[in-house]
Amino acid sequence: MITKTLIAVVGPTAIGKTKLAITLAQHFNTHIISADSRQFFKEMAIGTAVPDTNELAAAPHHFIQHKSILESYSVGDYEKEALYKLEQLFKENDIVILVGGSGLYVNAVTKGLDSFPKIDASVRADLNTLFKEKGIIALQTKLQALDPEYYTKVDKDNPHRLIRALEVCIGSGKPYSTFLNQEKPKRSFNTITVGIKADREIIYERINKRVDIMVQNGLLDEAKALTKHQNLNALQTVGYKELFQFFNHNWTLDFAISEIKKNTRRFAKRQLTWFNKNKETLWVNFNDNPKNIISKIEDKLQA
């Protein structure tokens, strides 16, 4: 019988995942593993809303600012490291908390990744050049031709997803969709997924406020220091890529900040679409009493 449980706290950006994760970690006297793919990077603290000093001190955290943007770090690398860390933590704890808005990284830990063939790096380089020279429509058109099935499901506004699918199609000679949903090894722990929700207007209001606070806290200086690395994959991130347009004299500062807010709202919408796919998620409201949330989780633990 499996006696270890991972509680995964998910939801859109700026909804309060960090706060709830800390509350749960303190209640269950345990550790937190981050599944936020941009909080891994030590150079990107303000723009990724890394937990502050007090939050980090409130509960033991792992996978926060442990990598440099100059290092290669894939979701597969994260899966291996996170599972190893969980194995260690479960020796001392019956419950561990996972928190993050990066759905693919949450799934990597809770369900496992689909297995893909190794693709020559030149394929991705060619696709990046295509994107740079002809834009996202060229990627969409190519994917529609090579894998019409996946084309109907993919986030068509996300160049990373398009390029990833295309490199597999081109490098393997098979549609990307044929590698999806393969049987994966069972995890040695149970998972309870807790999703935080709010009305869309509230989410958008919280996002706009968070962006303003990031700007006040020095986001411009942080992004400016990273302009020489602006082509790195880690920096193709909302909050940085818009400011690079400002530093490159393409946009005004006011327009760049308005685009950060708009693109963050779009990102939150995509996050909700992803997390809504999991029908077993226990959804709670962003302003629910933490005691009520804990009570619901403990009911699930005893079920």
Q: 167 and 124 in contact (C-beta within 8 Å)? A: yes
Classify 181 in phi/psi space as left (phi over 0), alpha (psi -120 to 50) or beta.
left
Please enumerate in sequence order all residues whose Cβ is within 8 A of that of 160, keeping only pairs 6 or more positions apart, or say none. 233, 236
Binding residues for substrate: 13-18
Domains parsed from the chain with CATH numbers? 5-113+184-302 (3.40.50.300), 121-179 (1.10.20.140)
> How large is the average pLDDT for residues 193-213?
97
Task: Report the candidate in 175, 190, 207 with the shortest Cα–Cα distance to residue 301.
Answer: 190
For residues 116 and 186, give the distance between their C-alpha atoms in angstroms, rounded to a whole number. 18
Query: Does residue 182 surpass a pLDDT of 80?
Result: no
Sign of CA dihedral 274, 280, 285, 290: negative
Phi, psi of 78 (to 5 degrees): -60, -45
Task: Report the candidate in 35, 141, 23 with the shortest Cα–Cα distance to residue 85.
Answer: 35
pLDDT bucket at 85, cuts 50 / 70 / 90: very high
Q: What is the mean pLDDT of the chain?
A: 94
| pLDDT one-digit tens code per residue, 92-149 | 999 999 999 999 999 999 999 888 888 888 998 899 899 989 999 999 999 999 999 9
For residues 237 and 40, give the distance between their C-alpha atoms in angstroms, rounded to a whole number. 13
| Cα angle for residues 137, 117, 229 (degrees, 5° grid) | 55
Beta bridge mates, 33: 62, 98
pLDDT bucket at 161, cuts 50 / 70 / 90: confident
For residues 101 and 264, give the distance between their C-alpha atoms in angstroms, rounded to a whole number. 12
For residues 46 and 13, give the distance between their C-alpha atoms in angstroms, rounded to a whole number. 14
pLDDT of 198 reads: 97
Query: Does residue 1 surpass a pLDDT of 80?
Result: no
Binding residues for ATP: 11-18
For residues 109 and 85, give the distance between their C-alpha atoms in angstroms, rounded to a whole number. 11
pLDDT bucket at 184, cuts 50 / 70 / 90: confident
Both tokens of 21, joined, read 């994760």
Query: Does residue 212 surpass a pLDDT of 90?
Result: yes
Q: 195 and 99 in contact (C-beta within 8 Å)? A: no
Query: Does residue 3 surpass a pLDDT of 90?
Result: no
pLDDT of 266 reads: 94
Q: What percent of the chain has a predicted confidence (pLDDT) above 70?
A: 100
Q: What percent of the chain has a predicted confidence (pLDDT) above 90?
A: 85
Question: Taking the C-alpha atoms of 50, 51, 57 and 60 in order, what is their torsion angle to the nearest 10 degrees?
Answer: -80
Both tokens of 177, joined, read 């969709």
Burial class (CB in 10 A: 0-12, 13-18, 19+), 120: exposed
| pLDDT one-digit tens code per residue, 241-273 | 999 999 999 999 999 999 999 999 999 999 999
Binding residues: 11-18
Please enumerate in sequence order all residues whose Cβ is within 8 A of that of 66, keeping only pairs 6 or more positions apart, or say none. 40, 42
Question: Taking the C-alpha atoms of 233, 16, 53 and 215 in order, what is their torsion angle to the nearest 10 degrees?
Answer: 60
